[in-house]
Amino acid sequence: MLSIQNLQAAYGKVEVLHGISLEVPKGKLVTLIGSNGAGKTTTMRAISGMIKPKGGTVTLHGVDVTGMDSHRIARAGLAHSPEGRRVFATMSVTDNLLLGAFPRLTRARPKGDVQCDLERAMDLFPRLKERRHQLAGTLSGGEQQMLAMARAIMLNPEVVLLDEPSMGLAPILVDEVFRIIARLKDEGVTMLLVEQFAAAALNVADYGYVLENGSISLHGPAASLKHDAKVVVAYLGGA
Ligand code: ATP
């Protein structure tokens, strides 16, 4: 479904990704874990076209999308829920969600019914449903983060990139976000997840990759990575 081969990325002269390869098969949830500064967000940005890769390829269901503009990649069916709270503050929750569906309406073959997906998004995120008429800028930080995630889902994408959806959330909302991710997985949504909570990410994922200083150091089924001595010590807080 999503295939990354030898991806390289740099900011100016500083190379951050040194040629990473990973696969996200259809219907699977794959997680990318790594320490701060390892290059996880950069990987997501290079996949979705927010930055141009320096080398390598990004293939989305067989189509080479490497280096395309982000709106074309979105139209090809890839949704990116970026780190942080990127919502349109002066628009209502509902309008933010409807805007999420926009790129897909310009696809050659528009997929699904927007109204139906709006209801599904409200269903998945009951907090947003209660606040659907509220201006997005007046939501709490955690609610805005959920809105960013729900908006990505509104694209009805082939693949969703979720960058730290739990960042800065109170524990109760972190649990809610992971429940939502698990539900999306049950619905067969293909996802690549970057998470600071490595243990929770490995619990919900099918497969995991460990990113260290811009290179993949380890990968395997999530259930095995959870018990890998190096992963336990470095990322799961084990001794
Ligand atoms: P975190 O978990 O802290 O978010 P990360 O694994 O997502 O980290 P990145 O945000 O991808 O890491 O950053 C990788 C490296 O690239 C870091 O050394 C960072 O300082 C650098 N970097 C990130 N964005 C930029 C930028 N816009 N300009 C220059 N350097 C950058």
Query: Each residue of 62-79: pLDDT tens digit?
Result: 999 999 999 899 888 899
pLDDT band at 107 (very low <50, low <70, confident <90, very high): low
Question: 24 near 190, Cβ under 8 Å?
Answer: yes
**N-terminal to C-terminal alpha carbon distance within the chain:** 37
Asked if residue 185 is part of any domain, the answer here is no
Q: For ligand 1, atom 31, which residue shows the shortest CA distance?
A: 11
**What is the reported pLDDT for 147?**
92
Candidate from 40, 51, 83, 161 with most ligand 1 atoms within 8 A of CB, to mutate: 40
Q: Quick one: 59 and 113 in the same domain?
A: no
Q: Ligand 1 centroid to 15 CA: how many Å?
A: 11
**What is the reported pLDDT for 102?**
79
Query: Each residue of 8-34: pLDDT tens digit?
Result: 999 999 999 999 999 999 999 999 999
208 touches ligand 1 (CB under 6 Å): no
Does the pLDDT value for residue 112 go beyond 90? no
36 touches ligand 1 (CB under 6 Å): yes
- Euclidean distance between CA atoms 223 and 213, whole angstroms: 24
**What is the reported pLDDT for 128?**
94
Question: 194 near 36, Cβ under 8 Å?
Answer: no
Does the pLDDT value for residue 109 go beyond 60? no
**What is the reported pLDDT for 198?**
92
Average pLDDT (222-231) is 92
Looking at the structure of the chain, the number of domains it has is 2
Q: Quick one: 126 and 19 in the same domain?
A: no
Q: Quick one: 15 and 131 in the same domain?
A: no
Asked if residue 179 is part of any domain, the answer here is no
Buried b (16+ CB within 10 A) or exposed e, 104-127: beeeeeeeeebeebbebbbebbeb
Asked if residue 183 is part of any domain, the answer here is no
37 touches ligand 1 (CB under 6 Å): yes
Q: Quick one: 24 and 64 in the same domain?
A: yes
Domain extent, residue 64, equals 1-77+161-173+191-196+203-235
56 touches ligand 1 (CB under 6 Å): no
Candidate from 8, 11, 13, 193 with most ligand 1 atoms within 8 A of CB, to mutate: 11
**What is the reported pLDDT for 25?**
97
Q: Quick one: 113 and 168 in the same domain?
A: no
